Chains A and B, each alone.
Chain A
Amino acid sequence: MKLFHVEGGVHPEYRKERTQEHAIVSLPMPRILCLPLKQHAGAPAELVVSSGKRVKKGDLLAKAPSGVSAPIHAPTSGTVVDIREMASPHPSGIAQPTIMLRPDRKDEWSSDLPPAIEDPFTADPAVIGERVEWAGIVGLGGAAFPSAIKFGLRSKKPDILVLNGAECEPYLTCDDRIMQERAGEVIDGARIMAHALGVSRIIIAIETNKPAAIAAMTGAAMAHSEVTVAPIPVQYPMGSEKHLTKAVTGRETPAGKLTADVGVVVHNVGTARAVREAVRFGRPLISRVITLSGAGLTRGMNIEVPLGTMVVDLIEFCGGFKDGKAPHRLVSGGPMMGQPLPSLEVPVVKGTCGILALTKEEINEQPTGPCIRCGSCVSVCPCGLVPLEMAGFIRHDKLEEAEKAGVRDCVSCGSCSYICPSHIPLVQYFNYAKGRLNTDDRDRRKQDRLKLLVEARMARMEKQRKAKAEAAAAAAAAKKAAAAKPTPAPTEEPKASA
């Protein structure tokens, strides 16, 4: 298959060999599951259960409000023991309402599940979209964007579905294992997605450092002429949606647009499998495969875990930390774009693709030095930006200049920080700037709205005042007219003469 050149990128040490050969194992049901109401991009889900309620596997725990959101279902049968504020798996450790579910170890499926869609390929695409929405499926590659919304992209008439099996982050091998072990399910899921989107071509993009996955997927794709497996070069951040689209289709998404605007919808391989579960079996998203790795861990593993499992339980399952020593850093996701975890007492959520216990040597964190303008960050930036210049603007609080220099086009892949010989945390500057710019935008919008409201009120008041004045004038005139005719008002006389 013809591939297209993508600029920039880095080649970090992948360290996938630690878990690449480890088949997916199931985690024994933990003692407690903690399900935060916001596990996805968008608005938090809304509680529909209260403390003390007994639920079965697959029962709805929290429903999605309208807009961007996703519902949450019970990963197993048990009792809702509490609903309380708990630290979320986010570096801030900000607390959010969390459902505490104590499993009863019976793992009984709910009887309220929707029926299986027997033949998805003849089903109405809208029905499939609704099913995905019901199942609470989000992008399992890490972004956790509600998948149902991407099914709505059918309106943009895409012609290619790209299945993202790049897994370009070091350490992570969960997608690799899914493709190796569940190739048929992934391809079935992808074909269901393609039907729902109305596209006729599926490209499954896999980096060449996953030969077993490429072989398995190629074998499973043989029976379906519309499916192509594309081995793509190992080049971080190849898994970035827009860059992957460019690499396999040659189509470059214009700034500020979606890949669907150039006719391509991208889904993660794990997401495809979850879609299949929802459509063919009527099962919601209640578990996911994650990679546990890092030199700070006794052994690395790929585990299928119920959502809500505490990280501490997972670490224990992997034999604890190496030599009982706490690692230098605990990271959720890959080492390039992952987030540091605030503690071990946080749950696995829908977007968690890995938990890494990293040692100081692996991280190679050094004190920051001055920029020597070596230009490495410029040559590795996959977005064609000039990171050193943007960081300079942001350091001097010139956010507008940074915006002009393109900070909003940055995908935060971290390649610049990775390569910087002076160890300048460049991507941190950009995330800060993007956050500030977004807040400013929101404030500006709020102010604009406020201004509009105030203006509208003023206009209304003015109108009212005018109306009142007119009415008063009319009344006065009427009075005057009335008074003038029968008995002229004596008080008017001097005024008129004056």
Chain B
Amino acid sequence: MNELTSLTNLWSSNTAVSSLIWLAILITLLYLGRLQAHQVISSSFRMLHTSLRLWASSISQLINRLKQRNKEVLLAAGEAEVQTKIEREFNRISTIVQRDLSQYPAIHREIKSAIETIESDYQNCAETAPLPPAWGDVVATITALPSNGDPSVNKILENIKQSIDDAQAQSLSAYQKAGSNRHKALAKMQPDFRKLDDKMDVVKGKVDSLEERGQLIDQQMEEYLNIRAGEDKAASILATSSLTQFFIAGLVLTIAALGGLINFQLIAMPMSEMVGGTSYIGSVKTSDIAALVIILIEIAMGVFLLESLRITHLFPMIGSMDDKMRRRMMMISFSILFILAGIEASLAYMRDLLALDHEALQHALMSSNTDSNVNSNQVAGSSAEFRWIPSVGQMIMGFILPFALAFIAIPLESFIHALRTVLGLFAIALLRTLHLALRSSASLVTQVSKIIISFYDLIIMVPLSMESGFKKMSLKKANKNETSHLISETNQID
């Protein structure tokens, strides 16, 4: 401290005067080193600016690579999904063709048979009734001749007339019969027409179904081609779909986690009856860990069960197993799940018993006189008839929850698939923020360097002003000299 004071008062015993001298020296030094100082400041900040820009540029490249990678991941996932969909559609078409169109020859035969029947019936309808014999007109002319009262002629003519009448009656009868037959044939044609119509409807339905499937395949093929072409639109659609999947799966997983928590609460207390309530692993009760392990094993069994059913595809090894092995695995995981559900149901029942016992003890400890005991017994007695309801409820919950938790594999798979995309998007957002921050910092650094240089000049403004003044004066002097020189030259010329 003394050294500092002595240094301050080096030039004069008066601190102010000495300080002023120091200031003057400092300003002079700063003025003399102005150019170098400016260079140092500029180059340092330029270096910082350049490195920041370099970082920003690297991050920009990283963003592009990440975007590309995300797009590839999305397109690959989308391609696989659409492929599966198209395969499924083709399988459906194959099923339709095998199931429905394999019967087409039979339908065709039936249709043909119906058409033949109709044709035959139609031809039958076309047959006309037999005409009266051709000699009828001749006989009619003869019978129209005058008999002239000859009885034999009359008789002959009457016989002839009778014959003609009979022949006409027979013709009429035949005609009526033929008409009736035609009507019958036409009436018979009606069910054949209906049958034909039905068969045609069946054929139409099947063909329409195939057409619908075909249209769906067309749409999916278009989507598939877009994905294959790597179009941004397809990637954008897939990203949106992935985000939706992420949130939906996340929501379902949250619900499942809450279910797991309830399940945990259901079995944690009775677990202490099995593994003891005083042992700890770290700072967590062993009974709690045991309960948690049971729940996690249930989830694992659920995952294996759904994997072996080929509903989820988290473990490709299980999916690629042969059917016999897969069925075995399915049976084993289901059996373990069933046994664990049974254990949980019994634990839930035990929890209820323990809670009752604890409640009774607490009541006994809290009640200080006999009257209150009597009252409490009465209360307990009145509610005892309904005590079985929560017991049964807890048991059912204990049995059902493991199976409900088993289905966690489905949202888990969706979540994992979507997580890759979401993490990619998140990383891009993070990198973009960093990129922006670096670019802003680079600009800021440039501005700061300018401010520092200006501030430097502000400190040495007195010598700078003097320099400027001298420069102006010398310039003015030079101008004046030049002007006078020019005037003298002009005068000489004149």
Q: Do A and B come from one complex?
A: no
